[in-house]
Amino acid sequence: MWLRASCSLELGVSAPTPLLFMLRPRSGWHQWVAREEYLISPSVTAVEFTDPFGNLCQRLVAPVGDFSVHTTADIEAAEASDTAPGARLSEVQDLPEATLPFLLPSRYCESDLFTELAYQLGDGHALGYDQCAAIVQYIRDTTRYAPGSGQDIITAVDVNERSEAVCRDMAHLGIALCRALSIPARMVVGYLATLVPMDLHAWFEAYVGGRWYTFDPTQSNLNGGRVAIAYGRDAADVAIYTQFGAAVELKSMNVGVVQLLDPPS
């Protein structure tokens, strides 16, 4: 399916401030970017680089005043995310090297503190995909998805003690629990065509059965129409923008996804 996804940020800048953005979805195995636009106003020199996770990042210094970034992309995305009940655990010794960093604890996913709970949840399930599914079910059973409820990013330990959370938080808990079972898990930030209310979305992927699979604690079925913007260990790696210093204020963010009836031509 073809989607037009857009994200507009309006920032107020009170002192020149370095910013890192991650707002350029890239073409890969799961999506193809046919057309895109990345407009910066006022125009300043921006430099793009690839981070250790393969994300395209943009670096610039925002000048004082109103500053806006507007991105749009026409992207072919899968009709639905693959599922694979029964897919087996990839043993640590057989994992591709690139997946190994996603086994370690990270800022918001203290997997080292979840060993007991993870084993309890995984118990009785085939090692691998089914354990991940059980983890997702646990999160849904214990945490209510409350879009807009979470301003500050909290860690998986905190999420686990609350009864409601946002998509990012629930993904963190899922990631921490998978890693505690020696299953590589990574954060995905992106667009989801069917999201209500529309916003950027966060979910996670787990590496089982020899590849990455999508898991989404906040969505009851694995809708397609997903566009990945960035992958990372957790939200610390995939902020759509990171500011250095306190002189930038987010005035508004608008996210839109529409389905295109025809491929771009």
By CB under 8 A, residue 100 contacts a second copy: yes
**Using the rule CB under 8 A, which residue among 9, 103, 200, 229 binds a second copy?**
103
Residues in the chain: 265
Q: Which is nearer to a second copy, 103 or 257 (CB)?
A: 103
By CB under 8 A, residue 28 contacts a second copy: yes
Cα distances (angstroms) measured from residue 104 to each of 178, 198, 234: 11, 32, 11
By CB under 8 A, residue 130 contacts a second copy: no
Q: Which is nearer to a second copy, 216 or 234 (CB)?
A: 234
Cis peptide before 16 (omega within 30 of 0): no
Cβ atoms of 234 and 241 within 8 Å: the answer is no
Stretch that binds a second copy, among 48-56, 126-134, 192-200, 202-210 (CB under 8 A): 48-56
By CB under 8 A, residue 59 contacts a second copy: yes
Region at 245 (left for phi over 0; alpha for psi -120 to 50; beta for the rest)? left
Q: Which is nearer to a second copy, 32 or 145 (CB)?
A: 32
Contacts of 104 (CB under 8 A, 6+ apart): 111, 179, 233
By CB under 8 A, residue 182 contacts a second copy: yes
- Distance of alpha carbon 42 from alpha carbon 62, whole angstroms: 9
Q: Rule CB under 8 A: which residues touch a second copy?
A: 18, 20, 26-29, 32-41, 43, 45-52, 54, 58-61, 76, 91-93, 97, 100-101, 103-107, 110, 112, 115, 153, 182, 236-237, 242, 244-246, 263-265
